[in-house]
Structure 1
């Protein structure tokens, strides 16, 4: 008993995201720079960040390893092209318009294409307190520049697992999978408590730090529901096909419950961790959807009965019968038959609303402010203000 991890919310662990409206230095020149633990050429530089190399590509941006020369620390930076976003948005909008009316519409809000980015930033700023949610450190958005730069804490071990169709990954032991799964459950419970449905839980969006802690990332298609609602009602079925629940694969179901969608994806993720592949796979999306809707889940004979029982409840095809977060936290496989209890909701969660105004102002140019930054950053930049009058809060 007593293994449950407590979450500290003291001032020393409270983070803020620094928001900067000015890019005072940008260079695509290659630098020969000697950095801690890394020697070689650097691809470029933005403000104090040396751009080292591309490490991943997200749903709407490329992710680079960067080095902050001011505080001597590595970060991950997602670079998003505003012009590309705008072009893709207009094409998709015109396509939808033609399908509905057969007419094109050229007038639209010039900032509308940034709404998805604004929403992700607002969500991340609101979730920053939790140790199992990736930390957004800084947002760089200059109206004169094409790129928006989102600087995140670096998760050195990368993705939890690389899942590809018809290719088996090395599965984790049940003990290792349990450790990671418990962290994801706490992060997901926090999201749901804050009225956020992630909608894309999968190993690709679960990152691992150097000290083996789990961080949920990529809130690009997340859904925010109202405070007076117990759950979200979602009609948009666009998400990663391998992790879609049966109700999202059916054309007969117009609306879905958000929490149950996340629970199914969580189940597919746990299944993948101990099998090395997803429970349903097919290169053809239509066939994949049929399998998810109709085929039974096949389990490896090597997994324990407790784990099989949990997976069967996570991968319950009827969303009304699917296990809940609270039931997951009490399951014998998760708690090792009550010898390793999980944190209570009260210990794990802190509540704050995300308002429409916060989404609108999440990356507003022309106004520099700090809403969340690591406390040690505050001391450093306060010193700069006093001495050079460079930054303004």
Structure 2
């Protein structure tokens, strides 16, 4: 799908420089008893969503343009085959030799035994849901609802619609039209903000590529497809298993029995390959033979064409084959190509990642206080009704104060 990016200084382009407000976690509706039907025109419906047309296809199902008939809002509805997902679960369980190890959050990866035994089909996509429920960021796609029709083979995930489609179509046998440096810089910075936020929330994406970067109607880049993402333990992003698309995999993942590697560093390599695609219209390594492709990623020289200056320096640092010396996210923020020689600003790391992902103890206490005060009002009104209607507002206020004092005394006694 061809896109016409907005100029870097347009209102749409400024989303990466605006201060982000604190955001609550996403709310995802889980609908177990959904119903599939068909319209007179032969279109399928799942509950209130009309599936208008197919707009994408993957290994486990299809993506439809869906319309919520109640609001007329457009959504991207991802349809999965439950039987294919279960087979995937069983294969993953067989390959791993049993359910053990880290919390891999893919389409059931590391959850095979639990999902196979569970009677809830939503467990087949629970991993991706777990990641998306944890997140709420302007450069990460929103998941709104997950539906299961118990009488059919399909599961449905309802995402926000990204009208402009993929960032760039990358094919093995052809070269796409590259972006200008200014446009590539803006999209790369938006991707950076999304990945930085993921890493701050202890998540590595593991499949960053242009296909998984979509553009909204307002030309804002958003990261999608958390099917092989992993939630890691705070402060330890070490991974043992390889995942993702081969052409975008880091060299340290292209080695048999590679042991533990840094998940963050592998994401940054994939970001580098994606940047290479933006400015050259192709991946740096091309082969239809998988083993040959892995060897090229590990050893083949990288052709940087006529690129020079800050862009060349960034490409060389982000595509550093040594993960220990590869550029980090903090270093990326200060790189001269990212800042355009200090002429462009970007939202700070603190503001970008300062997001509430769970209810705080203070908010819980405030909620409890609010409920307690409601009960106090109800008691006061009840007490007021038992007295003469001629009581003044002042008397009512006095009663309210007495009820509150009574409640506080009870609370103190309970605590003691």
**What band does the TM-score fall into relative to the shorter chain?**
0.7 to 0.9
Asked if 1:336 is matched to 2:344, the reply is: no
The answer to whether the Cα contact below 8 Å between 1:116 and 1:220 also exists between their aligned partners in 2 is no
CA contact (8 A) 2:122 2:155 kept: no
- Using the size of structure 2 for normalisation, the TM-score is 0.74
Higher RCO (CA-CA < 8 Å; seq separation 6+): 1
Q: CA 1:6–1:83 in 2, change beyond 3 Å: closer, same or farther?
A: same
Distance 1:150 1:166, change over 3 A: same
Distance 2:247 2:40 in 1: 40
The alignment partner of 2:244 has SS state of: coil
Instruction: Judge conservation of contact 1:126–1:352 (CA < 8 Å) in 2.
Output: no
Aligned counterpart, 1:312: 316
Partner residue in 1 for 2:331: 327
Stretch moving more, 191-200 or 162-171:
162-171
Query: Against the structure 1 CA distance between its residues 193 and 145, is the aligned structure 2 distance closer, same or farther, given a 3 Å change threshold?
Result: same
CA displacement at 1:59 relative to structure 2: 4.5
Residue deviations 1:92-148 (CA, integer Å, cap 9, x gap): 5456669xxxxxxxx984239865611101101111x20000010111134444321
What 5-or-longer segments of structure 1 have no aligned partner? 32-41, 99-106, 355-393
1:178-327 matched pairs, under 5 angstroms: 178-227=185-234, 229=235, 231-251=236-256, 253-301=258-306, 303-327=307-331
Per-residue CA distance 1:239-278 (angstroms, 9 max, x = gap): 2100011100122622211000000000000000110000
Q: Establish whether residue 152 from structure 1 lines up as the match of residue 156 from structure 2.
A: no
Change (3 A) 1:259 1:111: same
Alignment of 1:39-50 (within 5 A): 43-50=43-50
Question: Offset of 1:30 from its aligned partner?
Answer: 5.2
Larger radius of gyration: 2
- How many residues in Structure 1 have an aligned counterpart in Structure 2? 330
Query: For residues 22 and 40 of structure 2, what CA distance do their matches in structure 1 show?
Result: 41
Cα offset, 1:196, TM superposition = 0.2
8 Å CA contact 2:140–2:224 kept in 1: the answer is: yes
Write out per-residue CA displacement over residues 42-88 of structure 1, whole angstroms, 9 at most, x where no aligned residue. Answer: 63111111101111123533111001111111100001121221134
Contact 2:26 2:132 in 1 (8 A): no
Question: What SS class does the counterpart of residue 66 from structure 1 fall into?
Answer: strand
Task: Confirm or deny that 1:9 pairs with 2:47.
Answer: no
| SS across alignment from 1:54 | strand
What is the Cα-based RMSD across aligned positions, in Å?
Answer: 2.6
Which residue of structure 2 lines up, in the alignment, with residue 386 of structure 1?
Answer: none
**Aligned partners of 2:208 and 2:274 also within 8 Å:** yes
SS in 2 for 1:77: strand
Aligned CA distance change for structure 1 residues 147 and 339 (closer, same or farther; 3 Å): same
Q: Structure 1 residues 92, 20: CA separation in 2 closer, same or farther (over 3 Å shift)? A: closer
Closer, same or farther: CA 96–346 of 1 in aligned 2, 3 Å: closer
In structure 1, distance between residues paired with 2:196 and 2:149: 35
- Asked if 2 retains the 8 angstrom alpha-carbon contact of 1:85 and 1:114, the reply is no
More helix by share: 2
CA contact (8 A) 1:137 1:152 kept: yes
2:209·2:271 contact (CA, 8 Å) conserved in 1? Answer: yes
Residue 37 of structure 2 is matched in structure 1 by 27
Look up the match of 1:174: 181
Separation in 2 of the partners of 1:193 and 1:91?
A: 31
User: In the aligned structure 1, how far is the partner of 2:253 from the partner of 2:19?
Assistant: 36
- Name stretches of at least 5 consecutive residues in structure 2 with no aligned partner: 1-8, 99-112, 359-416
SS at match of 2:18: coil
Shift of 1:89: 2.9
Contact 1:194–1:352 (8 Å) recurs in 2: no
CA distance in 2, matches of 1:97, 1:80: 25
1: CA distance, partners of 2:122 / 2:28: 18
Q: Using a 3 Å threshold, how does the CA distance of structure 1 residues 119 and 93 change in structure 2: closer, same or farther?
A: closer
Q: Is the 8 A contact 1:59 1:220 kept in 2?
A: no
Of residues 122, 133, 138, the one that matches 1:125 is 133
2:63·2:79 contact (CA, 8 Å) conserved in 1? yes
